[in-house]
A and B are shown apart, each in its own frame.
Chain A
Amino acid sequence: MIAQNIAFTILAAVATLAAVRVVTTRNVVHAALYLVMVLASVGALYVLLVAEFVAAVQILIYIGAIVVLFLFGIMLTRATIGADAGLDNDQRWIAAVTGLFLLGVLTFVLVDAFGDDRLPSLENMSREALTAERGTGAVGDAIFSTYLVPFEVVSVLLLAALVGAIVLARRE
């Protein structure tokens, strides 16, 4: 497990530092690119957890689509090269308090819910067994059996967002 721990530490450090840079950088495009680093590190953490499918979805959806749309929007409107003076405001103390509060709540919830759990050791499992238990097929089975109702609810939500976007775009 030592290699995994080292990898986790590096990835977590990269994700945290990049996340700090997202809010401290003076350039919107740089902020979006640092966000890519955060999302990629999280994707790599999924690989460490043997959740390859989730990792690929993370890259395809978040980096390949959402950040690209962010950048697309930023570049269409305002994307100056170099520091952008109008990017800062005087709410950083309120933001810091809110951020720390959120960190506290999330830490408490996670420790309270999963504090005593230990990750199962996967070292003695064969690759076939791992694939059968945690591979893409297993994720698909879980979505369409155990989590069928939440899955359908989410798809209705997305449909509603789609219809809403069309209505907004069509309004003259």
Chain B
Amino acid sequence: MTLALELAYWQQLAIKVLAILVIVPTATAIIVQTFLFKMMAHMQSRLGPMEAGPHGTLQLMADGAKFVQKELLAPARADRRVFTLAPVVVLLSTFLLFVVIPAGPGIVAENLDLGIFFALAVSSISVLGVLMAGWASANKYALMGGLRAAGQLIAYELPLVLAVVGVVIQAGDLSLQGIVRAQAEGEIFGFGLIGLPFVLTQFLGFALFLIATQAELTQPPFDMPVAESELVAGFQVEYSGLQFLYFYLGEFGAAFAFSALAATMFLGGWWVPGLDLEGGLLANVVGPVVLFAKTMAVAFVIFWIRFTYPRLREDQLQSFAWKYLIPLSLVNILVTGAFKVIF
């Protein structure tokens, strides 16, 4: 897309940073409001928040204001510097995830040639913040939560990365725009009208990616690190006010980002039949709407599973990753590679 006015590099950078700073809290708010407040309530035959605004839609405003007002507490024996830094590290990882997600032919903060690999790399930073928080709180529950989180995130990082490899092999490109293009230009046995969303060929990869995402986001049934009934809230237990809000933003912002990544890699991303891949006003206006719809569909599945299944035990969780998910994802890579060579 050509803009009417040419902006200097730093001006473009400022706009991109500002856009991401706005998008992450908005995306988090939408996810929390739609799924955590209302969908969960209705699935459990409750009403959920109803007082603030029509049907409780302004509840998050009230909650946000409440968090900002609260005092920032830290335990007396806590390691103050690490304690303050930990939520920032988690939030940074979430913000960086949004850099590479394309919402239209011209709407992407930075169309890196690394694409999905960059997203996986920055998502791995959040473990560090979780460990820092768990240790610096000087609290046994927090430390146990941090350790559980680290063990879980290391185990599920592997199937997450390996599930993506199948998509990358099929698309022949790491950049997310390239993956969208490969799906739009694909054909189903010569029938090219709707392109080839990779969920049709990479259904195993899609399932593995969703399961690993669920674990990476520590959503139930993989919520051992924050298990309320045994660890209070794990690594988050000593945090209050804005710092707790940072963890909250980090968790649900990442949920949105991972849903958007899944939508981009497996469901065709911002493209639907009729949109111009090369640019144009229509694609840049409709693209974000399409991506948003697909993202919400994926997020719906994630939260549906979250509200349905009970928590896994630590040993079940570990053996599920190492004995089932990782071998399956290796098989997926092998089969995809074989098909790539044959066809």
Question: Do they bind each other?
Answer: yes
- Select the stretch in B143-151, B181-189, B270-278, B309-317 that faces chain A: B143-151
- Do A75 and B147 touch (CB < 8 A)? yes
A136 at the interface (CB under 8 A from B): yes
B291 at the interface (CB under 8 A from A): no
- Do B112 and A52 touch (CB < 8 A)? yes
Q: A65-B157, A75-B143 are in contact. Are A81 and B136 (CB under 8 A)?
A: yes
- Do B154 and A75 touch (CB < 8 A)? no
B162 at the interface (CB under 8 A from A): no
| Interface members, chain A 11-57 (any B CB < 8 Å) | 29-30, 33, 36, 52-53, 56-57
| Interface members, chain B 112-153 (any A CB < 8 Å) | 112-114, 117-118, 120-122, 124-125, 127-128, 131-132, 134-136, 138, 143, 146-147, 150-151, 153
B199 at the interface (CB under 8 A from A): no
- Do B128 and A63 touch (CB < 8 A)? yes
Distance in Å: Cβ of A20 to nearest Cβ of chain B: 17
B302 at the interface (CB under 8 A from A): no
- Do A72 and B125 touch (CB < 8 A)? no
- Do B154 and A36 touch (CB < 8 A)? no
- Do A60 and B82 touch (CB < 8 A)? no
- Do B79 and A81 touch (CB < 8 A)? yes
- Give per-residue flags for A59-101: 1 if the beta carbon is below 8 A from chain B beta carbons, else 0: 1100111011101100110010110000000000000000000
Which of A60, A69, A71 interacts with B121 by CB under 8 Å?
A60
State in angstroms the CA–CA spacing of A72 and B127 once bound together: 10
B174 at the interface (CB under 8 A from A): yes
Q: Which residues from A are CB-within-8-Å of B323?
A: none
Q: A53-B114, A68-B150, A72-B147 are in contact. Are A59 and B121 (CB under 8 A)?
A: yes
- Do A67 and B113 touch (CB < 8 A)? no
- Do B112 and A68 touch (CB < 8 A)? no
Distance in Å: Cβ of B134 to nearest Cβ of chain A: 7
Instruction: Give the top 6 A-B pairs by smallest Cβ distance, nearest first.
Output: A64-B124, A60-B121, A56-B121, A59-B121, A135-B113, A71-B131
Q: A65-B157, A71-B128 are in contact. List 7 more A-B contacts (CB 8 A).
A: A33-B82, A36-B128, A56-B114, A64-B128, A68-B150, A81-B77, A135-B113
